[in-house]
Every structure is written in C-alpha cells, then in structure tokens.
Structure 1
Amino acid sequence: MERWFGKTVIVTGASSGIGAALSLRLANHGLKVVGLARRAHLIDDLALTVTGKGSIISRQCDISKPKEIEAIFQWVEQKFGGPEILVNNAGFLKTGNITDLGNNALSEDAIISTLDINLKGMIMCTRHAISSMKKRHFNGHIININSIAGHYMPFEPSFNVYPSSKHAVTAFTLALNNELAEFKSQIKVASISPGLVHTEMVNDYKGDCPILKPEEVADAIIYVLSTPPNVNISELVIEPTSGRRL
C-alpha cells in the first residue's frame, strides 16, 4: 500500500458496513479518505477512531442524484486535486416482490432506488473519477463493490431486482475494462463480489448460513489495491468457508 500513502480516495456508502470498515483501514494506511453518505455524522464518528497517519473527511451525498455527485467531485478536486482511488460501495436492498402476485410487492420508489444507487450512481461516480485521473495523467484504481448475486440468481425471491442491478455491475466492470484497454489506459478496475456480509442490508436475515464480516471484505480490497501497477484483479469473489448460496 506504500504507493497510495497520502493519496486521496473517495468511498461511497462510508457510514456503515463495508464502507466504514474500509474507510478506517485506508486511513490507517495513510490515505486521505473522503467518505460519502447521506448520514455524514456517522462518518464523523468513525473519523475519531483513526489511529494511522491518514484521515477521514465526511461529505453528505445522495449518489442517486447526479448533481450531488458532480458537486462532490468538484469539491474533491478543489480541496485535494482529485481522487486517486474510487470505491463504489454504496448499495441498496429492500426485500419484497417485483410484482403484486403475492402480498409483499415493492413500491416503485424502492425499485427505482435499487437501480439508481446500485448502478446509476456507480456509473456516474466512475465517469467523474476517470475524467479527473485523465486530466492529471494518474493511473488510479476503481473498485466496484458487487455481490455473488451479480453472478447467479438467488432462489430467494424477496431479493427482487437487487440481483439484476448487480449483474449489471458485473457487465459494467467488464465493459469499462474493455474500454480502458481499447484506449491503452493504465487505470485499473476491479469488481469485488462478496457473499452475505453482516451489514444493515441483511439485518433481517434469519438463516443459518455463515456470514462475512465487513472487515474481512475490507482486507480483501486492501489486497487488490496492493497489487503492482502491471497487475489488475478484475474480479474477486469472497465467500465464507462452508458458505451456502441462497
């Protein structure tokens, strides 16, 4: 991680779960972390626990809104010059059914939020990050937090359109890597696909399958970032030992 010391990283969804665990890991490795979330006060609390030579700064942002994303990236460029790393971590899952065939149909707002946060926000953040890296001639790193549900379809129907949004993340990461290769860019893009992780999104999970800790996923992301410039881990799947897919 030495090459990233003192560099700036934007982490979306940094107020809890994987985003919070990763932000703390990165700051303790000496990076300047700009944590984005709608609940920015939780990031402020997290910043007080940093023990390394880096820092965590909170910015309130709803990544389902392109104008807010644009304003954040402008602020980061003015304050720090721009991000060297972007971690697209923000995610949304509300259980329910796609249709009203049963008694638990999702609202239209919930469906739109799933697509806006899990896919549209990721794409918009990535466009701004790569534009900033290009202007500064810096070969940075984009990390997309995906899911194993982006590679298969869970049998649990209450996951509704969430797997569809994550399959789109898989396709987006592949398409972006193809585009970067086409233009001979050295910017790296990775898709990190964990199994079930103990976050707010799965607080209602009642099953007996092993569940990953956010810190374990954060450690895997640190590993991906630690690879030399000529090595790109484009896809990493993380599952708990003896885990069983839903």
Structure 2
Amino acid sequence: MDRWIGKTAVVTGASAGIGRAIAKLLAENGLTVVAVARREERLKELAASISNSKGGKIVPFTADITKEDQAVAAVRHADSLGGVSVLVNNAGAIQLTQTINGEMDKWRHMFELNVFSLGPLLREGVKSMKNHKIDGHIINVSSISAHGLPMDGGKHIYNATKHAVRVITEGVRAELTAIGSKIKITMISPGVVDTEIFEAGLNPIDVSKMRTLPMLKSEDIALACQHILSTPPNVQVPTYFLKFRLSYYLQ
C-alpha cells in the first residue's frame, strides 16, 4: 500500500457502512480521500476520526451522485488535488419490489444510483487518471447478486442492477485493454453485509429477517479493497468474492 501514500482517492457512499469503512482505511493508509455522500455531518464526523502517521486525510464532499453535475464535481475536486489514483464506486440501494407490479419509482431509484451514476464517475475518473498519467485503480463495489438469480421474489430488479454493474465493469476493462492503458478495474462481490442499506430500502419485517442471517462486516470489504490495491502492477483481480464463513458462525 505504500505506493498509494500521498495519492488521491474518491469513495462514494462514504457516510456509512461499506463506503465509510473503505474511506477510513484508505486514509489510514496515507491517501487523501474525497469522501462523497449526501449527509454532510456524517462526512465531517468521519474526517474528524482520522488520526495517523502516514498523512492521510478525509476531504468531505457533499453530493447526490444521481445528479450528473454533482458526480462530475466530486471527481473534478479530486482531480484538482493532484489527480484521481483510486476510484471506489460504492454507493448503492436496495428496494424489494415484485417485477410484475412495475413500481417504476423503485426501479428508477435503484438504476439511477446503482448503475447510471457509474457513467459520469467512470468517465471523469479515467479522464483524470489519463491526464495526470496515473496508472490508477477503479473498484466497483457490487454484490454476489451480480452472479445469479434470486431464490425468492422481490429482488429481481436489484439483481438486474448488479448484473449491469458486472457487465459495465467488464466493458471498462476491455476498453482500457484495447487502448493499452495500465489502469486496473476490479469488481468486489460480497455476500450479505451488515449495513444501513436494509433499513433504507426494506420494510421492518424484511429487515428483521435479514438480521437473523450471518453477515459480513463493512470492515471486511474495506480490507478486501486494501488487498486489491496491494497487488503489484502485473496482477489483475477481475472479481473479488467475499462470503461469510458458515463454519465460523456454527462454532
């Protein structure tokens, strides 16, 4: 991780959960992290919590990344700090909805945040890396849901957004390879993680069901990011899977 000391990262959805854990760990490893989210107070609290000897810090940036101009502004702010070296697209949402009900407000919310926001973030992130001649790393935080179909109803639209993230990630890799770029991209696919995403998108009954399951912690995903960023330039990690070790739960 030492090669990233003093470099600039962008982390979306940084006010809580996985995004907060990733932003904190990167800052503790010496990066300047532009932490992007809508909740300004949460970002300020995160910034105040960082204390380390490697010079890393959190730079709060309040934005709604479903608005293209705000997503662009966040990345360009990081660009002004020396260029984007690491881009972590983490922000996401889940809402249960029966496909045949056509609840388009829920469809739009998930696609706008989970999928469409990636467009300007990826565009501006890659542009910054190219302009500053940085062999950077992009990490898209997705889900195990990107690799299969749900076993029960209500999750198919959410799964569809995560399948889209998977295909988009592969598209970016193919296009970067075609132009001979050394920029790397990885998709992280965790199983169930204990975060606020459930309270934000599910009803109390569904939340209580989720809480009965063994879950990964946000810090587990942050450590996965650290592992990915620690790989040498000649190593490509296309997809990083994380699942809860059931045997540990049963001990």
TM value normalised by structure 2: 0.90
Residue number among 63, 79, 84 corresponding to 1:61 in the alignment: 63
Measured in 2, the distance between the counterparts of 1:129 and 1:205 equals 38
Say if 1:94 and 1:201, in contact at 8 Å, map to a contact too: no
What corresponds to 1:121 in structure 2?
117
Task: Name the SS of the counterpart of 1:51 in structure 2.
Answer: coil
Measured in 1, the distance between the counterparts of 2:170 and 2:121 equals 17
Task: Name the SS of the counterpart of 1:206 in structure 2.
Answer: helix
More helix by proportion, 1 or 2?
2
CA deviations on 1:131-180 (whole Å, 9 max, x unpaired) are 11111111100000010000011113122411000001111111111111
CA deviations on 1:37-59 (whole Å, 9 max, x unpaired) are 01121011011111223111111
Q: For structure 1, which segment, 121-130 or 186-195, has the greater mean C-alpha deviation from structure 2 after superposition?
A: 121-130
State, as a whole percentage, how many aligned pairs show the same letter: 37
Give the drift of 1:118: 0.5
Measured in 2, the distance between the counterparts of 1:118 and 1:109 equals 14
What corresponds to 2:9 in structure 1?
9
What corresponds to 2:186 in structure 1?
190
Give the drift of 1:209: 2.6
Equivalent residue letter for 2:209: K
* Residue 217 in structure 1 maps to residue 221 in structure 2: yes
CA deviations on 1:12-57 (whole Å, 9 max, x unpaired) are 0000010001111111111101010011210110111112231111
Equivalent residue letter for 2:124: H
What corresponds to 2:209 in structure 1?
206
Q: For structure 1, which segment, 44-53 or 179-188, has the greater mean C-alpha deviation from structure 2 after superposition?
A: 44-53
Say if 1:41 and 1:58, in contact at 8 Å, map to a contact too: no
Q: How does 1:26-175 map to 2 (within 5 A)?
A: 26-52=26-52, 53-78=55-80, 80-100=81-101, 106=103, 108-175=104-171
Task: Name the SS of the counterpart of 2:209 in structure 1.
Answer: coil
* Runs of 4+ deviating beyond 3 Å: none
Give the drift of 1:205: 4.5
Measured in 2, the distance between the counterparts of 1:60 and 1:95 equals 27
Structure 1: which 5+ residue stretches go unaligned? none
Structure 2: which 5+ residue stretches go unaligned? 200-206
Aligned residues: 237
Q: For structure 1, which segment, 35-44 or 152-161, has the greater mean C-alpha deviation from structure 2 after superposition?
A: 152-161
Measured in 2, the distance between the counterparts of 1:117 and 1:183 equals 28
CA deviations on 1:98-118 (whole Å, 9 max, x unpaired) are 233xxxx74x22210100110
Change over 3 Å in CA distance of 1:130–1:205 after alignment to 2: farther
Equivalent residue letter for 1:87: V
Task: Name the SS of the counterpart of 1:99 in structure 2.
Answer: helix
Equivalent residue letter for 1:116: E
TM value normalised by structure 1: 0.92
Task: Name the SS of the counterpart of 2:100 in structure 1.
Answer: coil
Measured in 1, the distance between the counterparts of 2:12 and 2:51 equals 21
* Residue 230 in structure 1 maps to residue 234 in structure 2: yes
Measured in 1, the distance between the counterparts of 2:92 and 2:184 equals 21
Task: Name the SS of the counterpart of 1:11 in structure 2.
Answer: strand
Measured in 1, the distance between the counterparts of 2:69 and 2:49 equals 31
Measured in 1, the distance between the counterparts of 2:175 and 2:47 equals 36
- Report the RMSD for the aligned CA atoms in angstroms: 1.4
